[in-house]
Amino acid sequence: MKNSRPRGVTLIELMLVIMIIGIMAALAIPAYGAYTLKARRTDAMTALVDIAARQANVHNTTNSFTADFNVLGYAGGLSELGHYRLEFVVPADALQFTIRARPVAGGRQERDAACQWFEIDARKRMTSGPEDCWPK
C-alpha cells in the first residue's frame, strides 16, 4: 500500500521555526552587547593597575613619578586593547599622580553609560564614574 501523503516541511512549519529563531535572537543580542561592554572595562582596569605598578618602580629608582607613557611602556597613551585613552595628572613636584582612562572617541566603549571613566592614584585609590565599576 502506497502512502499518498506528501513528505517534507510545509511553509507554515518553516515560518514558525524562523519566527522562533528571530525571537531568540532578539532576546540574546542586547544581552550580548551589554556583556561585551562590561568585559571591555577590564581593558581600562588592567592598564591602570599595571601603570600604577610601573609608576611605583619608577618612583623607587628616581624618587618621583613620570607622566611619560613611553617610559611606562604605553606608547600612544592607549590601553592594551585600545578601547581606552589614558591621561596622566602629575603635579609639578611629581610626588603623586592620578591616571584616568576614558573610552576612545568614536569607539564601542563610548556606549557604556555606567562607566565613562576609571581612575587610580599613587595611593592605589580606585574610582570610576558615574557608577562604581571597580570590582569589590
All structural domains of the chain, each given as residue ranges with its CATH number in brackets, are 11-130 (3.30.1300.70)
Closest CA to 43 of 87, 70, 81: 81
Distance CA 78, CA 125 (A): 21
DSSP 82: S
pTM beyond cutoff 0.75: yes
DSSP 6: P
Predicted confidence at residue 2, as pLDDT, reads 63
Place of cell 507554515: 12
Distance CA 109, CA 121 (A): 23
**pLDDT tens by residue, 37-56:** 899 999 999 999 999 999 99
Name the 3-class secondary structure at 98. Answer: strand
Contact 99, 79 (CB under 8 A): no
**pLDDT tens by residue, 61-93:** 988 888 888 889 888 889 999 999 999 887 777
